[in-house]
């Protein structure tokens, strides 16, 4: 029997995000176009035990390895009592608007579903649990271009997103998500305009926005500077913040331009996290099952 699995947990990018209302419990209703990047964390789950979570990799510092970690919360909520030895190779900055804990928790779900022959899509009961742990977890389980509505439970897969060269830039500040939502001036903005097909995506994206950008900039003005500097790089078509920040992204026509922009910004800001990569138009690879030897 296969006892371990390795799963890629890609960065989640909100290409556009509109806040369309607020529920009675305080959660905000969103309408967001979400896609996934070629950079991410790598999660390995081994059911041979002993139980535990080890975090390694360039962005491991400060990542909790106890019950605060969304990976362990997900394991306990969906597979109570199951022993799993988990290794997280952390490449993405945490609390950064690109999935972070939710992406890792989703990877745990995908790995465990593959190892236990559970359905790759969570049941309604599991979905409710996952949303309570992290609102982005269901979208991250899909790991494919998706229109996300509600607080993250209403997911419409999108078929024809072209692969887009992208530059991710985090200026090294964090803002708690609730603080960004709290600073939002208008909580009832229009939904996304109807989505275009294929090659028209970039033009359409320019007409949409991230409603959380302004409140995030109020808390961390460096985000505005980051967006300006990205937009000023050669070939940048669009600069925007992802999620509740502080990671921003630039979209480019070619990978060469995204790489050149990364080089320019890295020279000026050696302390920023700068990652040229691409957005994939398709779902990420299924969990890799590792046969016991």
Contacts of 243 (CB under 8 A, 6+ apart): 12, 14, 17, 96, 97, 98, 99, 136, 177, 210, 212
Q: Is 12 a catalytic residue?
A: yes
SS3 of 199, please? helix
Tell me the per-residue interface mask from 143 to 162 with ligand C5P, x by CB under 6 A, - otherwise: --------x-----------
From 54-62, 131-139, 141-149, 212-220, give the range in contact with ligand C5P by CB under 6 A: 131-139
Residue 143 phi/psi, 5° resolution? 50, 40
Q: Is 206 a catalytic residue?
A: no
Look at residues 108, 82, 91, 78 and name the one whose alpha carbon lies nearest to residue 38. 91
| Helices 101-116 & 70-78 angle (0-180, nearest 10) | 40
Out of 181, 249, 252, 273, point to the residue binding ligand C5P (CB under 6 A): 181
Of 30 and 53, CB closest to ligand C5P: 30
From 1-9, 50-58, 175-183, 213-221, give the range in contact with ligand C5P by CB under 6 A: 175-183
28 is an interface residue for ligand C5P by CB under 6 A: yes
12 is an interface residue for ligand C5P by CB under 6 A: no
Give the number of other CB atoms < 10 A from CB of residue 207: 10
Out of 46, 89, 104, 136, point to the residue binding ligand C5P (CB under 6 A): 136
30 is an interface residue for ligand C5P by CB under 6 A: yes
Of 145 and 152, CB closest to ligand C5P: 152
- Interacting residue ranges for ligand C5P, rule: CB under 6 A: 26-28, 30, 134-136, 151, 177-178, 181
């Amino acid at each position: 029997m296969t006892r371990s699995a390795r799963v890629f947990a890609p960065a989640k990018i909100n290409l556009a995000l509109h806040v369309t209302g607020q529920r009675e419990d305080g959660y905000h209703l969103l309408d967001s176009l979400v896609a996934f990047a070629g950079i991410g964390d790598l999660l390995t789950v081994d059911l041979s035990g002993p139980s535990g979570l080890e975090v390694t990799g360039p962005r491991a510092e400060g990542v909790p390895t106890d019950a605060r970690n969304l990976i362990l919360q997900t394991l306990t909520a969906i597979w109570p009592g199951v022993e799993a030895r988990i290794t997280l190779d952390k490449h993405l900055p945490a609390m950064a608007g690109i999935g972070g804990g939710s992406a890792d928790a989703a990877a745990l779900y995908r790995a465990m579903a593959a190892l236990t022959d559970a359905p790759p899509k969570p049941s309604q009961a599991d979905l409710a649990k996952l949303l309570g742990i992290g609102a982005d977890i269901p979208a991250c389980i899909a790991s494919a271009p998706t229109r996300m509505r509600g607080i993250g439970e209403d997911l419409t897969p999108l078929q024809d997103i072209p692969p887009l060269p992208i530059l991710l830039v985090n200026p090294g500040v964090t803002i708690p998500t609730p603080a960004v939502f709290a600073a939002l001036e208008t909580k009832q903005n229009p939904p996304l305009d109807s989505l275009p097909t294929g090659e028209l995506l970039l033009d359409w994206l320019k007409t949409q926005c991230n409603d959380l950008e302004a409140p995030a900039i109020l808390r961390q003005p460096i985000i505005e500077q980051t967006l300006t500097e990205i937009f000023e790089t050669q070939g940048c078509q669009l600069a925007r913040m992802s999620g509740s920040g502080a990671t921003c992204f630039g979209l480019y026509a070619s990978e060469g331009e995204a790489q050149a922009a990364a080089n320019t910004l890295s020279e000026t800001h050696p302390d920023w996290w700068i990652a040229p990569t691409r957005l994939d138009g398709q779902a990420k690879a299924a969990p890799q099952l590792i046969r016991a030897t």
